């Protein structure tokens, strides 16, 4: 058979969130080999398993919707691919579904995150809403072409909900730009909030960040 593209959607939780993207690529490569999947290798002097991660995840971020694309060169069911990989993957990385992709990487427009913050004032939700009411939220961002630049992430940030959590913490559900054109890490928003609290003499911390959805330009879910 001709090579067929496959997309495996996986979760990254527990200690696996501290696996860097480069190490994650190596982990998936080793898992594919151990699972003895009939995958397509790149051509040339140093053939490698073709793997494509549509939207790499930042270190320390949990996720329920990560994806890796590859090709198979034999007739094998999606369910068997899923079962074989889950048998050899480390704790914290779990394949949720496997299918033939329809959406392309260039279709990605936003990512949705659940951020849990806590601050010493005891009312983190109120503090965060006050933070978002500012006219600008300027942060430092490193780019390949211009190096470190200052950008205003306020217009890019869509807050879906802010709710009180346990012990005065706040659960923040938001959408940020993602993809090849513009990409904003949710940790940047969390760090900006922590810095603003510090200016007020308030200690704040980010308890966790979880990516819950990847969205296309038409707002359909990518995976």
Break the chain into its structural domains and give their ranges: 4-101, 106-216
Residues 145-181 pLDDT 10s:
777 889 999 999 999 999 998 889 999 999 999 998 8
Q: Do 4-101 and 106-216 fold alike per CATH?
A: yes
Answer yes or no: is pLDDT of 193 > 90. yes
∠ Cα 11 124 139 (to 5°): 70
The overall average pLDDT reported for the chain is 94
pLDDT at 220: 96
Residues 16-71 pLDDT 10s:
999 999 999 999 999 999 999 999 998 878 889 999 999 999 999 999 999 999 99
Is CATH 3.30.70.580 the classification given to domain 4-101?
yes
Is CATH 3.40.50 the classification given to domain 106-216?
no
DSSP alpha helices (H): ranges in the chain?
Answer: 21-34, 78-88, 124-132, 186-199
Report the first-to-last Cα separation within the chain, whole angstroms. 25
């Amino acid at each position: 058979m001709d090579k067929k593209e496959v997309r495996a959607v996986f979760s990254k939780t527990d200690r696996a969130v501290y696996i860097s993207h480069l190490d994650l690529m190596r982990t998936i490569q080793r898992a594919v080999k151990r699972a003895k999947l009939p995958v397509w290798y790149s051509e040339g002097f140093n053939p490698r398993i073709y793997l494509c991660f549509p939207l790499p995840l930042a270190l320390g971020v949990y996720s329920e919707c990560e994806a890796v694309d590859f090709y198979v060169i034999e007739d094998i069911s999606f369910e068997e691919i899923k079962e074989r990989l889950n048998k050899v993957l480390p704790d914290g990385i779990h394949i949720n579904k496997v299918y033939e992709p329809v959406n392309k990487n260039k279709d990605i427009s936003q990512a949705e995150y659940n951020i849990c913050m806590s601050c010493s004032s005891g009312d983190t939700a109120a503090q965060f809403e006050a933070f978002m009411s500012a006219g600008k939220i300027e942060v430092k961002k490193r780019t390949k072409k211009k190096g470190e630049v200052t950008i205003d992430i306020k217009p890019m940030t869509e807050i879906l909900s802010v709710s009180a959590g346990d012990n005065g913490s706040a659960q923040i559900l938001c959408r940020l730009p993602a993809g090849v054109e513009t990409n904003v890490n949710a940790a940047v928003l969390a760090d900006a909030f922590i810095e603003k609290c510090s200016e007020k003499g308030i200690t704040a911390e980010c308890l966790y960040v979880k990516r819950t959805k990847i969205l296309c330009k038409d707002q359909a879910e990518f995976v």
